[in-house]
Amino acid sequence: MDVRRSLPAVDTLLAHPAVAAARTRHGHRLVRRAVRQTLDEARQRLAAEPTAPGSNDSETLADAALERLAELARPASCAVFNLTGTVIHTNLGRSPLAEAAIQAMSEAARHPVALEYDLENGGRGDRDRLVEELLCELTGAEGATVVNNNAAAVLLALGALGAGREALISRGELIEIGGAFRMPDIMQAAGCQLREVGATNRTHPRDFENAIGEHTGLIVKAHTSNYAITGFTASVPEARLAEIAHAHGIPFLVDLGSGALADFAALGLPYEAQPKDAIAAGADVVTFSGDKLLGGPQAGIIVGRRTAIQTIKRHPLKRALRLDKLTLAALEATLRLYRDSDAPERDIPTLALLTRAEAEIAATGERLLAHASDLLSDFEVTLAPCASQLGSGSLPVDRLPSRALAWRSRARQRRQRERDLRRLESALRRLPRPVIGRIGDATLTLDLRCLATAADEAAFLEQLERLPGLYAATHRQAHGDSP
């Protein structure tokens, strides 16, 4: 007899009480798909090995179908716990948004909005007006425009101001950041001719002055946000570069990269240059990101002199790179917090995470350790000091003191300890709300800086309760056993 005939029919499994209850939450179509995939997988297993261990009764298959349903129902961009120790993590979506920004996006998504409609005169308006006045007020600039990210901002500004001409930049600032963004490539794509000046570690005013000629279009300064050159170094201050550029009638562009709108030193954080400093130093154009230290949505922000901004706005790429209404709504709400809030470091989540007190993180760790210490017999769990980094190329050499749950395998052999850590990491990633940590020095570390609210702590504990079952499943799969 073909053992596959013992499997229940699709309709039979759909009628199982637990599966039927799931239909009220997820709908018939998705549940039926999960059931079909579960039964197909069971048939393939039995066809390959009819005597393979594993139960094919309705109860077991219903549980398997519900697990498959959970996988199908979970969006690809599901929420995760960022316990990597990198606060602004590019691969995990960078900055979380403030509640005000989330509400603004929700309203913009739900209703038509005055995006390019001027309510005063009833005619067509400019979508930049939603944030331009705020940006000018916060940075001291005369004009502002926004595009979809800072790479686009740099590309657009270079193309509008320097296409077909030379762009002078110090050799020590030919940056490359994640995603293969390289300043030389961006200059080439913008139609500028790269002209390197100075040396990697030392560049002087005379290097720029000697390089300026009839083909020079602009001077560029790029902040080395994801690395640091130390030792015997020299660089030209922004005010001096602005003086040199303006003496020769060419614009001066500063790419800040991260771009903070708060005084980080006043918040007890490492110093970070602000756009208003570059504007005050005489920069004609300053570009920076919206979703890094600013703590808003992904955006490339361009501020500067009115004439330069108007030239940038007229460039054909501006329309191709413009922001949608949801991003603009979130950015406006974030900028309003910087202007109006009595405590932006409280209301903007990224600033709240960066300024979180070490003692508070340690208290969170003590509470969690009581639940985690005896969770898995294969591991010893301790609360260990660690150092968080800001991330996304922001302040690369600076660290913030933090605490972490440190998981170490009890196995005696090194290879077994490595396997245990990989299985634990895999199990954490397979949780309903995945937990993302980091492995190093034979330890899996979960930095608790970003586990800041009571709701997050409770949700994390709920995930921990599911961890033993998932870890056991990864152990069985590694040994080729059926679940």
What mean pLDDT do residues 131-153 have? 96
pLDDT at 178 (0 to 100) = 59
**Number of C-beta neighbours around residue 152 at 10 A:** 21
How distant, in Å, are the alpha carbons of 365, 376, 378 from that of 385?
10, 22, 22
User: 3-class DSSP state for residue 354?
Assistant: helix
What mean pLDDT do residues 95-112 have? 96
d(CA 221, CA 365): 42
How distant, in Å, are the alpha carbons of 186, 218, 223, 257, 313 from that of 176?
10, 20, 11, 11, 26
Q: In the numeric block, which tokens belong to residue 47? A: 């066809």
Set out the domains of the chain in order of their start, with CATH numbers.
Answer: 7-73 (no CATH), 81-91+352-479 (3.90.1150.110), 99-347 (3.40.640.10)
pLDDT at residue 483 tops 50: no
Q: Does an H or E element contain 444, and which?
A: strand 443-447
Does the pTM exceed 0.85?
yes
Model confidence at 475, pLDDT cuts 50, 70, 90, reads: low
421, exposed or middle or buried, with CB in 10 Å at 0-12, 13-18, 19+?
Answer: buried
Name the more confident of 203 and 329: 329
pLDDT at 54 (0 to 100) = 57
Q: Which has the minimum average pLDDT: 129-138, 214-223, 232-241?
A: 232-241
pLDDT at 224 (0 to 100) = 72
Q: Which has the minimum average pLDDT: 94-103, 186-195, 225-234, 352-361?
A: 225-234
What mean pLDDT do residues 233-255 have? 93
Q: Which has the minimum average pLDDT: 46-50, 246-250, 316-320, 407-411?
A: 46-50
Q: Does an H or E element contain 147, and which?
A: strand 143-147
Selection from 233, 231, 229, 205 nearest residue 219 by Cα: 205
d(CA 378, CA 380): 7
Phi, psi for residue 468 in degrees, rounded to 5 = -55, -40
pLDDT at residue 482 tops 50: no
**Number of C-beta neighbours around residue 419 at 10 A:** 15
d(CA 223, CA 231): 17
Phi, psi for residue 34 in degrees, rounded to 5 = -60, -40
